[in-house]
C-alpha cells in the first residue's frame, strides 16, 4: 500500500512529473522509443496471456501475486502518462498559446 501511495503522489501533480524529466523523446528523432514501447506492449500481452491461462486452469492468484500484477500494470500506465506529460510540456514550449 505504501508503494501504491507513493505512485499516486508522484502522478497526482503532472507539473512535478514534467519537471523531473530531462529528455524528451520524439518518434522522428528517437526511433528506439517506438521499439521500447513495442517491447512493453509485447511484455504486457505475454503477461495477460499467462494470466488468462492461469485463470482458465482454475488456479487463483494469491493476494501478493495480485498486488504485484496491479503494480506492474500501473508502472506501464505511469510511464505512458509521464511520456504524455513530457510531450505536452514540450509542445507548449515550442508553440505558446496563440489567442
Domain that holds residue 69: 2-94
- Specify the pLDDT at position 96: 63
Global pTM? 0.26
Residue 59 lies in a domain: yes
Q: Which residues of the chain have pLDDT under 70?
A: 10-39, 54, 56-75, 95-99
Q: Quick check: is 36 in a domain?
A: yes
pLDDT at 57: 64
The count of domains in the chain is 1
User: SS in 3 state form for the chain?
Assistant: CHHHHHHHHHHHCHHHHHHHCCCCCCCCCCHHHHHHHHHHHHHHHHHHHHHHHHHHCCCCCCHHHHHHHHHHHHHHHHHHHHHHHHHHHHHHHHCCCCC
Residue 99 located in a structural domain: no
Tens-digit pLDDT profile for residues 8-35: 776 666 666 566 555 555 555 555 555 5
Is position 75 within any domain?
Answer: yes
- The pLDDT mean for the chain works out to 68
Amino acid at each position: 500500500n505504501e508503494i501504491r501511495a507513493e505512485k499516486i503522489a508522484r502522478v497526482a501533480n503532472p507539473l512535478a512529473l514534467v519537471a523531473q524529466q530531462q529528455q524528451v523523446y520524439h518518434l522522428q528523432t528517437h526511433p528506439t522509443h517506438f521499439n521500447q514501447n513495442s517491447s512493453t506492449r509485447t511484455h504486457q500481452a505475454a503477461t495477460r496471456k499467462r494470466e488468462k491461462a492461469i485463470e482458465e486452469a482454475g488456479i487463483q492468484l494469491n493476494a501478493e501475486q495480485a498486488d504485484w500484477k496491479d503494480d506492474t500494470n500501473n508502472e506501464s500506465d505511469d510511464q505512458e502518462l509521464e511520456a504524455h506529460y513530457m510531450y505536452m510540456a514540450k509542445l507548449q514550449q515550442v508553440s505558446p498559446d496563440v489567442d
